Structure 1
């Protein structure tokens, strides 16, 4: 809720408490990573998205968000690898699939 309202510091504080209470809580890591991304803290975001996918290897949203963070850092190869993992992980879901192709087509990342 805080993250959607732009209150990223409060979101990070609360999500940090959540992962302290449950270090396996993949959603909390992913949401905190997203809050870090919104603040431009891409190294911290990537670390949290990595924790999320370690706890849930099919967490396509976390792979996609980690890919976006890598893209922001200019790490195209890592971004494409994560977008590919996101797509493969999401093939059995009805949720949105992140697409490396869109980023490539827009010239946001190069191959």
Structure 2
């Protein structure tokens, strides 16, 4: 079946949500084009793609689970649903050490 033979359909989207929908469509389109251009580079391109398409949160909240001591990061975006990440206290310490090393390395 050719694409031209596909049935069409209508979809009503509230004006307040059209920005989010357009962002998702652009993101999916960009992702498909980038994947078509991908060359065999043993995963380096995938890592660069992750970096290029990384979402930037509008705000970040940090909470600590009193029962486990886990750190809970709540990332809020203007055009995406919130994302939460749970990190143990040990993982958090390791992450901060790595961050400090990377900041020092790039500062020179």
Shared fold (TM-score, shorter chain, > 0.5)? no
Instruction: Flag the structure with higher helix content.
Output: 1
Instruction: Flag the structure with higher strand content.
Output: 2
TM-score, normalised by the number of residues in structure 1: 0.34
TM-score, normalised by the number of residues in structure 2: 0.34
Which has the greater radius of gyration? 2
